[in-house]
Amino acid sequence: MKIKATIVLASLLVSACLLESAFAETEKHLWVPKVQTTYYFDSRDYNSLTIKSSVDLALGFNFWGFTDIRGNQNDPDKRFVFKRSFMEYRLRRKFDPEWVLGIRGLGFDVEYNGRNGKDTTILRYGLTYHHSLAMLFDTTSWMRWRYLPIETFERGQQTSIAYRLGFTSRLFLTGFSDYNFDRDGKPKWVAESQLNFLVNNDLDIVLEFRYNGFEEDIPRLKGFGVAPGIKLKF
């Protein structure tokens, strides 16, 4: 099953790259990645490193995702030693409004998840809706709603929101809340909210609030944590 998922993901990436190559001569701004690297000090006695990237492809496609590398909880003597990992990558596109009765911001996601290098690969498929929150916050503010009803390899579905709320030119809040339901009959929340202070174009100071319902259900693990960190942008 894992091999099939890998083949599907590889096919998506190859297709995206071929599309990009085909249009490279006329769309020179494409295939320029934006990368962020954030190092955190979690209150649950471990450190973590997040590498996030995004790149625009041809035909309106975007490839976005992140890899988290973390230490184990409750092991302060080895908080700098990375023991576990999680990755999430998405191929996404907004629909042209004329395709969907003039609705702006509606699109779709194909999402890949992988955890700890084991046979835990998941592919999800679904719809998204992105809209501005400029009437409530600043002009950079937005919210994205997602519903992913199709999931491979594991029984379940996911719905979520992601957001950016701008307070000042230097202070803003980003985050997400995922609701995973019908997984062994026990729905779970996973949520993170990150307060960002923009130091300059290359550096942010962040404070992240984390909750993981899966960890909450494991004995001796804590579901909630707070993690200050430093973000570098490239």
CATH number at residue 68: 2.40.160.40
pLDDT in tens, the chain (234 residues): 444 444 444 444 445 444 444 444 445 578 899 999 999 999 999 999 999 999 999 999 999 999 999 999 998 999 999 999 999 999 999 999 999 999 999 999 999 999 887 667 889 999 999 999 999 999 999 999 999 999 887 668 999 999 999 999 999 999 999 999 866 668 899 999 999 999 999 999 999 999 999 999 999 999 999 999 999 999
Question: CA 164, 165, 166: angle at the middle one, nearest 5?
Answer: 115
4 in helix, strand or coil? helix
In which domain, by residue range, is 72 found? 2-233
140-144, Cβ contacts within 8 angstroms, sequence gap of 24 or more: 140/164, 140/166, 140/172, 141/165, 141/166, 141/172
Per-residue b or e along 115-146, where b marks 16 or more CB atoms closer than 10 Å to that residue's CB: eeeeeebbbbebebbbeebeeebeeebbbbbb
Stated as kind and residue range, the H or E segment containing 10 is: helix 2-22
209-214, Cβ contacts within 8 angstroms, sequence gap of 24 or more: 210/42, 213/180, 213/188, 213/189, 214/188, 214/190
If you write DSSP's letter for every residue of 204-234 in order, what string do you get? Answer: EEEEEEEEEHHHHTSTT--SEEEEEEEEEE-
Domain tally for the chain? 1
DSSP-assigned letter for residue 201: T
Task: Report d(CA 87, CA 31) in Å as an integer.
Answer: 21
Task: Report d(CA 96, CA 54) in Å as an integer.
Answer: 21
Q: Which residues pair with 88 in a beta bridge?
A: 66, 113
pLDDT score at 118? 65
Q: Which residues pair with 125 in a beta bridge?
A: 110, 150
